[in-house]
Amino acid sequence: MFEDFKEIIDTGIKNSISRDAKLIIVGRISYAVERAELTLKEAEELENMLGGRSQWQDAYELAIAGATESDKYQLAS
């Protein structure tokens, strides 16, 4: 599974993959981790190939929890 993702990412990078496409791949990576098809270390390596989580952390948090960490902090105060 890791090699499949790596090939997809390499091809995407060569073809100037969009941020939206990266987010979809990150979702697929997360799903593969949940299914134990990838380890956390492999998932982190794949995310780093896409530019690192910092590029889409807010979008990822919104998709998972409906708010970013900073939103949650503001709502709690």
pLDDT value at 66 more than 70: yes
Is the separation of the CB atoms in 22 and 56 below 8 Å? yes
Average pLDDT over residues 18-29: 90
Per-residue three-class SS string for the chain: CHHHHHHHHHHHHHCCCCHHHHHHHHHHHHHHHHCCCCCHHHHHHHHHHCCCHHHCHHHHHHHHHCCCHHHHHHHHC
Read off the pLDDT of residues 33-65 as tens digits, 9 standing for 90 and up: 999 999 999 999 999 999 888 777 777 777 777
pLDDT value at 77 more than 50: no
Tell me the pLDDT of the chain averaged across its residues: 86
Residue 40 pLDDT: 96
